[in-house]
Structure 1
Amino acid sequence: MAIFTEFLDKIDQPEHRARVEEVLNWVAEKYPELDRVVKWNQPMFTDHGTFIIGFSTAKTHLNVAPERAGILHFSEEIIESGYGHTKQLVQFPWNKPIDYSLIEKMIEYNISEKAECSTFWRK
């Protein structure tokens, strides 16, 4: 996970840094076949060169990015879980538990849906 050290070191709040590290470690352990990369100063996981999921931080939440298709596919579940979202990001508040099952579903969806994808982003 050394590839993510610089990103983690820039997170000022120790609790937030620990939370992000926990999530990144969970993804890395659950999906060891995914490649770990940093693009646009954000930690991401890719599969055969295509984007699967990315992470960023904000003052009040951890952003999880499954691409717009993932947001659309899981929109109801995201709302039912009590999380906010934009067109590209799911917002996991710092003061709420992380729903790992939702992250797992988004990752599984992207791995499956992008199995034949030859570009980084969906077209």
Structure 2
Amino acid sequence: MEVFAEYLANIVNEQHRARTEEVLTWVSERFPNLEPKIAWKQPMFTDHDTYIIGFSVSKQHLAVAPEQAGMVQFADEIVQAGYDHTKELVRFRWDNPVDFSLLEKMIEFNIVDKADCTTFWRK
């Protein structure tokens, strides 16, 4: 988690910092083979140099970006969970619990789906 220390330290709101750290720690512990890194000033996790999942912090939510393929794969579950979303990301509001089960499915999908991927992003 050292790789995320500076990023976390720059989150002014203590509750947002704690939630973000909780999520990043959970991903690191649940998926120890993923490489944590900062790219484009955002925390993310990669596998064999391909993007798996990324996060960003805003005033109202923690955004989770599984790439568009991940969004399409879990569109129904995202809607059923009541999450606001775009084509590229899901917004986990600060005042609601994180659906770690859904997050786990997104990450597992990307790991399997991108197992043979030789580029950072899907083409």
Q: TM-score, normalised by structure 2?
A: 0.99
SS at match of 2:71: helix
Counterparts of 1:84 and 1:113, CA distance in 2:
24
- SS of residue paired to 1:53: strand
Aligned to 1:109: 109
What whole-Å deviation, never above 9, does each CA across 1:59-82 have from its counterpart, x for those lacking one? 100000000110111011001001
Aligned-residue RMSD, C-alpha = 0.5
What is the alpha-carbon distance in structure 2 between the residues aligned to residue 119 and residue 36 of structure 1?
A: 17
Q: Percent identity?
A: 59
Residue 6 of structure 1 and its aligned partner are, at CA, apart by 1.1
> Partner residue of 1:97?
97
For the residues of structure 1 that align with 2:2 and 2:49, how far apart are their CA atoms? 20
Distance 2:13 2:36 in 1: 23
Q: List runs of 5+ in structure 2 lacking aligned partners.
A: none
Q: Does 1:67 align with 2:58?
A: no
* Cα distance per residue 1:66-123 (max 9 Å; x no partner): 0011011101100100101111110000000000000000000000000000000000
Specify the SS of the correspondent of 2:43: strand
Which residue does 1:43 correspond to in 2? 43
TM normalised by structure 1 equals 0.99
Deviation at 1:10, TM superposition (A): 1.2
For residues 70 and 12 of structure 2, what CA distance do their matches in structure 1 show? 29
5+ long unaligned stretches in structure 1: none
Residue 83 of structure 1 corresponds to 83
Comparing 3-12 and 102-111, the one that deviates more: 3-12
Letter in 1 for 2:38: V
Corresponding residue SS for 1:70: helix
